[in-house]
Structures are given as structure tokens and as C-alpha cells.
Amino acid sequence: MLPLNYAILHCYRTLETADADQIMESLKADYERSRSFRKKTVVESLMTAKENGILEEAGYEADAGGGLHVFYRLTDYGKEILDKYIPITV
């Protein structure tokens, strides 16, 4: 099993765009028992990847409860990084 931060980025190989909730849903089966599998951790990972040029913001959406969802997608640089450092299968 990949470390959580790698798994989060790995999700973007199959999801063109996704927010933290979608990433959590995608990883739930494998990571729900991990103490670090919290929305705050996932959001921080996404924001860090954005600041490092691996992800870029792809849009925003407000939900009925007034929450803001930020959607991200891989950059070309991010694709190169994934191909080079994070294997498709482990």
C-alpha cells in the first residue's frame, strides 16, 4: 500500500479532477483505518501538491451547507513526477 500522500496523488491518474471529498471516497476502502486519513490531512496534501506545481486548481463549487469544494487536476509537471517517482502498482 502506498503512503497516503502518494495515494492521494495517484488518484489523479484515474480522476481528471477531484476535490478532497472525492479523493477520500476513492481511498476509503484502503485507508479508512489509518489515523492520518482525515479530511484535514487530505486537504493539506492537495494544497502542498498545488504549491509544488504537481496539481493546479480546476474549479470551485459551493455546497448547500455553504462549504467550499476546491477541485484540482494534475499539471504536466505533476504527470512527469508521478511517472518518475510513484509507481502505478506497488
Structural domain count, the chain: 1
Tell me the pLDDT tens digit for each residue of 5-55. Answer: 999 999 999 999 999 999 999 999 999 999 999 999 999 999 999 999 999
- Distance (Å, rounded) from C-alpha 71 to C-alpha 55? 10
Structural domain range at position 17: 4-85
In a domain, 62, yes or no: yes
79 pLDDT more than 80: yes
In a domain, 49, yes or no: yes
Query: How far are the Cα atoms of 18, 25, 48, 70 from residue 65, in angstroms, in the given order?
Result: 19, 19, 26, 15
pLDDT value of position 89 = 60
In a domain, 90, yes or no: no
* Comparison of pLDDT for 66 and 59, the residue scoring more: 59
In a domain, 38, yes or no: yes
- Domain containing residue 77: CATH number: 1.10.10.10
Query: Does the global pTM surpass 0.85?
Result: yes
**Grid cell in block for residue 1:** 500500500
In a domain, 68, yes or no: yes
DSSP output for 46-83: HHHHHHTTSEEEEEEEE-TTS-EEEEEEE-HHHHHHHH
Tell me the pLDDT tens digit for each residue of 50-60. Answer: 999 999 999 99
